[in-house]
Amino acid sequence: MGTQRTGAVGAASRKQVSRTGQAAPTPRRGCVAPRLDDVLVGDCLQILRDIPSESVDLVFADPPYNLQLENALIRPDQSLVDAVDDHWDKFASFAEYDAFTRAWLGECRRIMKPNATLWVIGSYHNIFRVGAALQDLGYWILNDVVWRKANPMPNFRGRRFTNAHETLIWAAKDARAKSYTFHYEALKAGNDDLQMRSDWLFPLCTGEERLKDSSGRKTHPTQKPEALLARILLAASSPGDVVLDPFFGTGTTGAVARKLGRRFVGIEREEVYAEAARRRIERVRPLDQAAVAAPPAKRAEPRIPFLSLIESGRVQAGETLVCGAGRRSALVRADGTLKAGPAIGSIHKIGALVQGLPACNGWTFWHVERNGSRIVLDTLRSELRAGLV
């Protein structure tokens, strides 16, 4: 969580935000492209206003949570809990916090490219207010993701459930954005060929990853784990993309972006955090391009019909296809259809029919027999596709 609350967020900001959350036009100086891979120190809203429209590919925001802590938190052994009680997390009212939220979300939406997306993280103190502001401003929510903390802080007073998660909202710029980046196949492959779920289990930032000052105290109270940011950037950006973090803190977004071959723009109000972020990012060594290159999405690959396998000679008209277990079979016809008994149809339709199922992926169900081995059709399709690109 960064520290970008502006000092002019009170009545002046409320005047700039309508009841529906639409931000009023803001006077801007001449917009110039921000310095990439650097930390811009200053007021969050003013710096955002100076960034050109439609200039970033992804936004990750970890804004102040407005925790509303009134008293110190004490453990049962009477030791003091190192809680978030910094000045940048304190707002005079919910109205002031809402005005601030709508102001920075409105600027981020302007700065986002048409197919860019935004991730924002929060706790129960603020995430519902942020979600309402997102919808009021025209964002289109794609998912909410639960970060389950493997090692959450216990509830010392025993009056509530242990607060063991935070919520992320993933949103497109508007409902018309259909070509936003989402590396579905890569995430699935890295998750043992299972769809990536919306509940993610990561520990809190601890150990050597946690930045500390010379006295051993945490440099920043809410430093996020790099693994969390890595999953977000791998899911929703590509190498070379520009990632904006308007609440940069100690630079987790920048460190992960540098490692994964992304560019970043960080905004941070507190110089002590900005300097810690610069030192941290300078130590990061980017991975080789081969280790971070985005895999081609199957939807973007050239379409190969089954008939093309016959025309290329990889499958012969008149031969028999079998399932992986060899118990079901179908005859290949010269026109690219299959025949099983009296039924004739596509590789998908006949695959479903012989199994008694409503649907089937014929590319992964049917095999050809070659030299005593069975080869799935999808392998032959990949060979043919590789020769076309």
pLDDT band with cut points at 50, 70 and 90 for residue 299: low
Which among 122, 9, 104, 109 has a CA at the least distance from the CA of 53?
109
pLDDT of 77: 53
pTM of the predicted structure, to 2 decimals? 0.72
Alpha helices in 313-386 (DSSP H): 347-355, 362-365, 377-386
pLDDT of 131: 97
Q: What is the mean pLDDT of residues 8-37?
A: 51
Q: What is the mean pLDDT of residues 297-308?
A: 82
Mean of all residue pLDDT scores within the chain = 86
pLDDT in tens, 140-169: 999 999 999 988 878 777 888 998 999 999
Percentage above 90 pLDDT, the chain: 69
Percentage above 70 pLDDT, the chain: 84
pLDDT band with cut points at 50, 70 and 90 for residue 298: low
Q: What is the mean pLDDT of residues 304-333?
A: 96
pLDDT of 295: 74
pLDDT of 328: 97
Grouping H, G, I as helix, E, B as strand and the rest as coil, residue 196 is coil
What class has domain 38-68+81-291? alpha beta
53 vs 34: CA distance, rounded Å? 11
pLDDT in tens, 329-369: 999 999 999 999 999 999 999 999 999 999 999 999 999 99
Distances in Å between the alpha carbon of 175 and those of 18, 116, 178, 214, 369? 21, 12, 8, 48, 47
Does residue 133 carry a pLDDT above 70?
Answer: yes
How do 112-122 and 373-376 pair as beta strands? unpaired
Q: What is the mean pLDDT of residues 203-217?
A: 81
Grouping H, G, I as helix, E, B as strand and the rest as coil, residue 156 is coil
DSSP state of 298: G
CA 58 to chain centre: 9
| Number of neighbours of residue 245 by Cβ within 10 angstroms | 28
Distances in Å between the alpha carbon of 187 and those of 39, 193, 251? 30, 8, 24
Does residue 323 carry a pLDDT above 90?
Answer: yes
355 vs 105: CA distance, rounded Å? 51
How do 343-345 and 366-370 pair as beta strands? unpaired
Strand partners, 144: 169
318 vs 308: CA distance, rounded Å? 15
pLDDT in tens, 218-268: 877 778 999 999 999 999 999 999 999 999 999 999 999 999 999 999 999
pLDDT in tens, 69-125: 454 444 455 454 454 445 545 678 889 999 999 999 999 999 999 999 999 999 998
Q: Higher model confidence: residue 21 or residue 137?
A: 137
Domain extent listing, the chain: 38-68+81-291, 306-387
| Number of neighbours of residue 1 by Cβ within 10 angstroms | 24
